[in-house]
Amino acid sequence: MSRYIENALDKRYEVWKNKDYSEEPESMMDLAIADFMRDRPTSRNLDPEFKKWATIQIRTFFFAGHDSTAATIVYCLYLLSKGPGILAQVRAEHDQTFGADITTTAQQLKDRPELINQLPLTTAVIKEVLRLYPPASALRGGMPGVYLEDKNGHKFPTEGLLVWIVHGSIQRNPNYWPEPHSFIPDRWLVAQGHHLYPPKYAFRPFEAGPRDCVGQSLAMVDIKVALALTIREFDFHDQYAEWDRQHPNRSGPKTVFGERAYQVPQGAAHAVHGMPCRVVQRPQTGHL
């Protein structure tokens, strides 16, 4: 991967040498090269140390985006398979937006990409999945004079410490979320003032503030597209019961918060044991 990225950087730099480096960058690679050229506008080649640094950043960006998005897609399919009523509503929403012929969905998205923004229930499902199963957490460096304060007014200094923001704990905290362990997409559809309405700053899968995830919009689009292209064509059924039968002496907890498909760290947080499942193609008769 590093060699591939380095070669791509060199090729892209050859193009950029003949451009105005102040032009709007078109990609993350362009951003890195534009930053390099501001300091070295006449350089014939990319500096090896800069190229090494840029390669590490781009590689991390690719990995973080793909791995966390993949984990979220898996949990979307899993939780929808456990909630047939919600699944039926999502499929109906897709029928209404794209029509009943699922073979046309991909072309419709190519011709009219704005359709992906006409799926409010699907978006609510994704947000609720991210609340229950955030694929990552965050780390922030403490600073002098910066304190964390609990509900009783006790202050905890952060200077010299790293503050670990555990999204899974915040987003299942019963002080902020009614029925915190339940899959309720309606949280994201109710009006402000409703008891289910999400509290401010308590939803943090992409973090919040000036250092929130730069790829969050892309991730949401990726997940919606994946669901639009699969959820009406296939049924997904987890096979944890079969996995447990085949591994009677396995170690580790059986469930977490009563859920068998709990998360374990594998890059991003993934479903334990790789989410064993069976995928069945649904019969298509021209109308779902």
Phi, psi of 53 (to 5 degrees): -65, -45
Residues 255 and 98: their CA atoms lie apart, in Å, by 38
The whole-number pLDDT of residue 62 equals 75
User: What pLDDT is attached to residue 110?
Assistant: 96
Q: Percentage of the chain with pLDDT > 70?
A: 93
Select, from the ranges 9-23, 40-54, 127-141, 201-215, the one with the highest average predicted confidence (pLDDT).
127-141
Matching residue, tokens 């957490």: 137
48-82 helix and 84-98 helix, angle to the nearest 10 degrees: 110
Whole-number Å distance between alpha carbons of 96 and 110: 18
Q: Considering only CA atoms, which of 126, 179, 136, 178 is closest in space to residue 269? A: 136
Domain boundaries, the chain: 2-46, 58-281
Residue 286 confidence class, pLDDT cut points 50, 70, 90:
very low
Range from 32-36, 41-45, 95-99 carrying the lowest mean pLDDT: 41-45
The DSSP call for residue 25 is P
Please report which confidence band the pLDDT of residue 213 belongs to, taking 50, 70 and 90 as the band edges.
confident
DSSP class of 256: B
Q: What's the confidence (pLDDT) of residue 256?
A: 94
Q: What distances in angstroms separate CA 49 from CA 28, 45, 46, 153, one per listed residue?
A: 18, 12, 9, 48
136 versus 178: the higher-pLDDT residue is 178
In 3-state terms, what secondary structure has residue 198? coil
What is the pLDDT at residue 285?
54
Q: Alpha-carbon distance 156 to 90, whole Å?
A: 44
What value does the mean pLDDT of the chain take? 89
Q: Which CA distances in Å does 55 have to 10, 74, 139?
A: 11, 29, 22
Determine the Cα–Cα distance for residues 114 and 95; give it in Å rounded to an integer: 16
The segment with the largest mean pLDDT, out of 46-50, 118-122, 249-253, 267-271, is 118-122
Closest C-alpha to 55, from 91, 114, 100, 9: 9
Listed residue (137, 139, 163) closest to 68, CA to CA: 137
Least confident window among 74-83, 110-119, 133-142: 133-142
Strand boundaries in the chain, DSSP class E: 138-141, 147-149, 155-157, 162-165, 234-238, 263-266, 268-271, 277-281
pTM for this entry: 0.83
Confidence class for position 235, pLDDT limits 50, 70, 90: very high
pLDDT at 170 > cutoff 80 = yes
Give the model's pLDDT for residue 19.
Answer: 63
pLDDT at 287: 44
Given a cut of 90, whether residue 218 has pLDDT beyond it is no
- The answer to whether residue 48 scores a pLDDT higher than 90 is no
How far from 91 is each of 65, 190, 262, CA to CA, in Å?
A: 26, 20, 26
Tell me: the pLDDT tens digits for 62-75? 777 788 899 999 99
Distance CA 59, CA 28 (A): 11
CATH classification number, 58-281, choose in 3.40.50.720, 1.10.630.10, 3.30.300.30, 3.30.365.10: 1.10.630.10
Give, as one character, the DSSP assignment of residue 270: E
Q: pLDDT-based confidence at 288, cuts 50/70/90?
A: very low
How many Å apart are CA 181 and CA 121, to the nearest integer?
19
d(CA 53, CA 50): 5
